[in-house]
Amino acid sequence: ILGEAKKAADEGTGPDAASGGDVVDTFYYDVLEVPADAEQGKIKKQYYKLARQYHPDKVGADNKEAADKFKDIAEAYQVLSDPELRKKYDKDGRGGLSADKTDVVGGDNPNIDPTLLFAFLFGSDKFDDYVGRLAMAISAITADSDKITPEQLRELQRRRCTRLAIKLAERLQVWTSEDYETAKTTWKAEAEELSQASYGSQMVHAIGDIYTVTALQFLGATDSGIGLPSISKWAAGKKAKLDRQNKNTKIKMEQLKVGMAVMELQKKAEQEIENAKTDEEKKAIQEKLQKDSMVHLLKVMWTTTIVDMTVTLHEAAQMVLFDKSVDKETRIKRAQGLKALGEVFTASPEVKKEGEEDAAKLYEEAAFAAMLETLKRKDEAAYEASYSTAK
C-alpha cells in the first residue's frame, strides 16, 4: 500500500512543477537526485529519504563526508521547496541566491517544511520497533499522492499495531520467564541507547508513560473492575513531579491549534515592520517571526504525534495483554512486565544535546497532556460503544 502511494507521488510532472526543466545550474537537483522539472511531491519525498539516510543518528556524528552531504541535502530542499527561490535558482544558479540564501539557508531558522522536519527529528529508525512509522512520517513519504485511500491508511495502521504487538510480546518474554534482573538491565540499556537519538529522551519518556498507564489500566481492571484508581494515582504523582512554571496549566488539544497563534504573530510582525526604520530591523523582525512560528508548529505536531503514539502503542499493548493464546497468569505477568518496562523508560536519565534544552520541557508537557486526553477519549468511545450495544 505505502509503496504504491510513494510511487504515485513520484510519477510525472504536473502543475506544481516550478521549473520547465531548462536551468543554468543543476547542483541542487543532483543532490536530491531529481530531474529539473520534478514536482514538489517528488522533491519532498527525496528529501525525506536522503535526509534519513545521511542523518548523524544513522551514519555517526563524526562522519564529516556524510555531514557535508546532509547539509547539502537540507540546503537543496530549502531552495527547491520554495517556489520563488526555485525560480531564481533555475534562472541564475546558486550565484543568484546570495541574499535569499543568507536568510533561508544560512540562518538559524531554515525554511524547511515543518511536517518533514518533525517527522525527521522524531522519526529515527532506532525507534522503529517501539513506535513503528509515525503518521507524520507516512505523510511526508506519500507527499502529494492521492492514490492512498482512508481504508488503506487504516490497514497500514492495523499492520503497524500488529507488528508492534509481536515485538512487544517478544520484549516481555524475558520478564514472563521471571528473569526480572536481566529484563530490567536489558531495557535500561535499550533506553539509554534510544536516548542518544535526536530528541531521544523525550521519545523514551513518552513511550514509558504510555506503557505504564496502559499496564496500570489493565492491572487495575483485573483488581477492581475499572482500573481508574490506579491511573488517577499514577497521573497525580506524575503531574506533581513535572517541573512546570505554571502548575495550573493544562494543555488541551484546542489550545494547541496553531492557526490563530501564527496569525497573531504575523499581524504583530507586520505592524513592527511598518514601524521599522532600517532593513536590518525588518530582517530581525522577520527572523523572529520564523522562529516563533516554528515553535508553535512543532508543539502542535509533537502533540499530534503523541496522540498517534498513544493510540498505536495502547492498541498494540492491548493485543499483548488480551492475547487468548496464552493463559491468564501469563497475561498478568505481561502487564506487570509492561509496567516495569514503562518505569525503566520514564526513569531513564535525560540526555541533553545542544539545541534541545528549551524544547524539552515544551514537549514533555504537551506529551503528557496529550497522552492522558487520548486515553480518556478512547475509554469514553469504548464505553459509548458498549452502552449502545447493550441498548
CATH number at residue 83: 1.10.287.110
* Residue 291 reports pLDDT greater than 80: no
Which region among 67-81, 229-243, 265-279 has the lowest average model confidence (pLDDT)? 229-243
Going by pLDDT thresholds of 50, 70 and 90, the confidence category of residue 101 is: very low
Q: Which of 92, 113, 134 is the last residue of a domain?
A: 113
- Domain holding 242, by residue range, is 149-258+278-390
- Calculate the CA dihedral of residues 272, 277, 279, 280 and round it to 10 degrees: -80
Specify if 127 maps to a domain.
no
Sign of the four-CA dihedral 226, 230, 234, 235 = positive
Asked if residue 51 is part of any domain, the answer here is: yes
Residues 79 and 167 in one domain: no
Residue 229 in domain: yes
Instruction: Between 373 and 124, name the one with better pLDDT.
Output: 124
Q: Has residue 265 been placed in a domain?
A: no
Query: What's the count of helices (H) and strands (E) in the chain, helices before strands?
Result: 18, 0
The more confidently predicted of residues 220 and 195 is: 195
In-domain check, residue 13: yes
pLDDT digits (tens, 9 = 90+) for 205-264: 999 999 998 998 888 766 555 545 556 655 654 554 453 334 334 444 444 455 556 667
Q: What digits encode the pLDDT tens for the residues 111-152?
A: 555 555 665 666 567 888 999 988 777 776 665 556 677 788
Amino acid at 41: G
pLDDT confidence of residue 241: 46
Please indicate, yes or no, whether residues 98 and 239 belong to a single structural domain of this protein: no
C-alpha–C-alpha distance, residues 104 and 337, integer Å: 48
Separation CA 318–CA 321 (nearest Å): 5
* Residues 87 and 198 placed together within one structural domain of the fold: no
Question: What would the grid cell of residue 231 be?
Answer: 491511573
Residue that is last in its domain, among 113, 137, 163: 113
